A = this chain, B = another copy of it.
Amino acid sequence: MTSADPTAPAVLDPRADIVELTAAIVDIESVSGNEKALADAVELALKLHAPHLSVLRDGDTVIARTELGRAQRVVLAGHLDTVPVADNLPSRRRVREGREELVGRGTCDMKGGVAVFLALAVEASDPPVDLTWIFYDHEEVAAADNSLTRIAAEHPEHLRGDFAILGEPTSAGVEGGCKGTMKLEVTARGVAAHSARDWVGVNAVHRLAPVLERLAGYRARRAVIDGLEYRECLNAVAIDGGIAGNVIPDRAHATLNYRFAPDTSVEQAEAHVREVLAGLDVEIEVSDAAAGALPGLDSPAAQEFLAALGGDVPVAAKQGWTDVARFSALGTPAVNFGPGDPLLAHTDDEHVPTEDLRIALASLRRWLGLPGADATLAS
């Protein structure tokens, strides 16, 4: 045992085995708001091992860029933070059904992707395209606190490129673009009365009947864009109303969530929901909205990326909203690509198959023309 300076950054070795590197990153706890130690460690590793990069620090976000004057620039971004720990740190390895897994908070969402990006940032000193690596904070909290919100506003040039790859878990497949999302508050008004004399009142809960009826009967659009199918969804995700057991409610309220295809603007999405509920005696207010992201798979940079990954890699539409939409809003087509099953994100049993880490690393090495594009699969 040596006595270490507790304020000194942890030391990460980006050239270590990818599973060891992932475990080391996972073991630096970084629940949203507590990313500093991990950001320090990432910044130090890049400064020590990647002299070909210019490294910027902005809050707890680390941005590292090549400046090689290439014709194209690709942005690779991964968030450093996790949702709260559920007694699942430090990480551990296990073998289940013959498959090795790294288990613990962040293994899937998305420190596996962060480890792959950190390894490649160090390896790719002479890439065919210029690269921007972004390791950012506050993704697992409100969008307003997400550091990409701040950077998009203050330094949009950091996010610009011809193509962007977000390291969110996709089981090392490609998930293109994402749907938009809108929250709407639907309120019905009535007149309170004693429930034994309802004829002097108007029941606001009953006034939501045709709202629910239209939602229940709604047939959602399926939009195919660049060969990917985005299935829209329109749902009541919450409902509430009622004053007391003997009172006719004078107010009832439902929250709707509309997930709309990325060929639809926020304005068009709102107009559509208003049309679905047209003629009903309710108030409708949009309380939150974020546009989707077009997959942009027909762009040259995206085509080169897909070609390098090979014909076997699964390519699908991303149904949930992710930060790819921020790049799309700046005109940069973006996809999600990372190790780990997205359905395991945030679960207590969060884990990543170690093979996913190796496949993701090998795939991106192939794309960047680096050695080790195939060998890792055999290890």
Q: What is A's interface to B at a CB cutoff of 8 Å? A: 179, 181, 183, 194-199, 203, 205-210, 212-213, 215-216, 220, 231, 233, 235-249, 252, 254-255, 257, 259, 288, 319-321
Complex Cα distance, B196 from A183, in Å, reads: 12
- The answer on a CB contact under 8 Å between B235 and A198 is yes
Report whether over half of chain A's contact residues are helix, strand or loop; otherwise say mixed.
mixed
**B residues less than 8 Å from A197 (CB atoms):** 231, 233, 319-320
**B residues less than 8 Å from A237 (CB atoms):** 195, 205, 242-249
**B residues less than 8 Å from A231 (CB atoms):** 197, 199
- The answer on a CB contact under 8 Å between A257 and B212 is no
Q: Shortest CB–CB separation between residue A10 and chain B, in angstroms?
A: 33
- The answer on a CB contact under 8 Å between B215 and A212 is no
Most B-side CB within 10 Å, residue of A206, A237, A242, A288? A237
**B residues less than 8 Å from A240 (CB atoms):** 239-242
- The answer on a CB contact under 8 Å between A241 and B238 is yes
**B residues less than 8 Å from A181 (CB atoms):** 196, 246
Tell which of B206, B210, B244, B288 touches A236, judged by Cβ atoms closer than 8 Å: B206
- The answer on a CB contact under 8 Å between B233 and A195 is yes
- The answer on a CB contact under 8 Å between A257 and B252 is no
**B residues less than 8 Å from A239 (CB atoms):** 205, 208, 239-242, 252
Q: Shortest CB–CB separation between residue A275 and chain B, in angstroms?
A: 19
Q: List 24 A-B contacts (CB under 8 A).
A: A183-B245, A194-B320, A195-B233, A195-B235, A195-B259, A196-B233, A197-B320, A198-B233, A198-B235, A198-B259, A203-B236, A205-B235, A205-B236, A206-B235, A208-B239, A209-B209, A209-B213, A209-B216, A236-B241, A237-B242, A237-B244, A238-B249, A239-B240, A245-B288
Closest 7 CB pairs of A and B: A238-B242, A209-B212, A206-B216, A198-B233, A196-B320, A205-B236, A196-B319
Chain B: CB-nearest residue to A216? B206
Chain B: CB-nearest residue to A238? B242
Chain B: CB-nearest residue to A258? B195
Q: Shortest CB–CB separation between residue A323 and chain B, in angstroms?
A: 14
Chain B: CB-nearest residue to A249? B237
**B residues less than 8 Å from A198 (CB atoms):** 220, 233, 235, 259
- The answer on a CB contact under 8 Å between A205 and B196 is no
Complex Cα distance, B210 from A208, in Å, reads: 11
